[in-house]
Amino acid sequence: MAAFLSEYTWTWLAYIIAAMIHVGLIINLVAVAALVFIWLERKISGRIQDRLGPTRVGGKFGWLQTLADGLKLITKEDLCPDGADRFLFKIAPYVSFCAAIGAFIAIPFAGGAYPWIAQHLNTGVFFVLAVLGLEVFGVILAGYSSASKWSLFGAMREAAQVVSYEVPLGMCVVVPVMIAGSLDMVVIGDQQAGWFTNWLVFHDPFTFITAFVYFTCAMASVNRAPFDLAEAESELVAGFHTEYSGLRWSFFFMAEYGSMFSVSILASVLFFGGWNGPVPITDLLGLSGAEVGTLSWAVAQALGLANVLLKGLLGVCLMIWVRWTLPRLRIDQVMTTCLKYCTPIAAAMFLGATLWQYNFPGRAFFNLIPMSDAVLEVSEGWEVESNDPDEEEEQIARGPEETGGLL
C-alpha cells in the first residue's frame, strides 16, 4: 500500500511539474509577444503616418521603449473609484488576461506523432473558440464595476459586438474542420503537409473567401480597429478601461495582444498550413521521418515552431496595418457588417465548401491546384468509400488515434 501511494504521489507530482512548465512557457510567450507587438505597432504606425516612432530608448530603433513603459506602469498608483465594486473592479483585468492565455493551452506549435502542445485535445478548435469568448466577461466586469457611464457603455458595446461576431467566426472555423474531418488541430495541420498548394486556403474557392471572412471576424472579436467601439476615445473617453491605471490597465492590453496572436495562429493552423512552410524544407532535408527524440526530429519541430510563430507575427502585423489604414466604424455599421454581410457570406461559403466535397459533374475542371492525399482521402468517408470489407476492418482496428479521430 505504501509503495502504491508513493508511486501515485510521484505520478501526480510529475503532472504538476509538467503543467507548471507549460503554463510558464505560455505566460512568457504572451508577455514577450505583447512587448514586441506594442513596439511593432508604434513603428508600423509611425511609418504609415510618415513618422519614425521610438528612436531613443534601447538604441536608435527604440527596442526597449515598451519595457520602459512597463516599468513606468508598475510604479503608477493603483486607483479605484469611490463608487466602484472593488472586488469585481480588481479581478476584471485578470479575467481577460487568463482567457487570452488560456487559449494557448490547446494550440499546437509543431505537429507529428508527438506535437509541441501544452494539452493535446481532440476538440482543440472548439476549446480555443470557447476560451477566447470568455475574454468579454472581463470587459463586462470592468465596465459594470467602474461606476462610470462611459465604462458601462463601452462594456455593453463590447458584449454586443463579440457575441454577434462569434456566429460568423464559428461558421468560418467549421469549414476547415469539415474538410479535414476532425476538430483536432494537430490533425488539421498535419493534413496540410507538403507544398503551399496543400494549404486549406487553396482547397477550393469557398475556403479561400472564408479565410478573409475569418480574419474580419477575428479582428472584431479581439476589439481591434476599425471595430474598437468598446474604447472609442472620441466618444467614451477610453471606454471600458477609463477608470483603470497602472498595472491593471496594462493587463487589458496584454490580453488584447495575446488574443490577436492566438487568433492569428489559429488562422495559420486552419487555413495556412500551420507548422508546414510554403516549401517542405523538412522533406527536402530528410528530417520529416526522423525518429522521435533525435536531433533531426528536434530540428524539424523547431522549424515547425518557427513557421507557426512567423505566421502569427504576420497576422498581427496585418491587423496593425488595417488599424492605421481604415477609420473607425460607428456601432450601427459594426453590427451591420456582422449581421448583413459576414454572417450570410460565411453561411454561403460553408454551404459551398460542403457541396464541393461531392464529385459533382465538371468538378475536375475547377481543381486547378492538386491537393494532398491526406486532405482528399479523409473527409469522414465522403471522398473515398471502400467496398473491401478487409480494409474496413483494418481501419476499425487502427482506432481513432491513428485515423485522426474519424472512427
CA torsion sign for 166, 169, 175, 181 is negative
pLDDT surpassing 70 at residue 335: yes
Outline where 271-379 has alpha helix (H): 281-284, 295-323, 331-336, 343-356, 363-366, 373-377
Helices 86-102 and 246-270 cross at an angle (nearest 10°) of 30
pLDDT surpassing 70 at residue 395: no
Whole-model pTM: value is: 0.85
Q: How confident is the model at residue 328 (pLDDT cuts 50, 70, 90)?
A: confident
Q: What are residue 110's DSSP bridge partners?
A: 116
pLDDT value of residue 218: 94
Over residues 289-310, the mean pLDDT reads 88
Instruction: Cis check for the bond before 278: say yes or no (omega within 30 of 0).
Output: no
Q: How confident is the model at residue 68 (pLDDT cuts 50, 70, 90)?
A: very high
pLDDT value of residue 87: 92
How does pLDDT run across 90-117, given as a tens digit for each residue? 999 999 999 989 999 999 999 888 899 9
Over residues 237-265, the mean pLDDT reads 89
How does pLDDT run across 172-182, given as a tens digit for each residue? 999 999 999 99
d(CA 224, CA 260): 9
Grid cell locating 167: 456566429
d(CA 317, CA 219): 12
pLDDT surpassing 90 at residue 322: yes
How does pLDDT run across 337-374, given as a tens digit for each residue? 999 999 999 999 999 999 888 765 555 555 544 555 55
Over residues 26-45, the mean pLDDT reads 92
d(CA 402, CA 396): 10
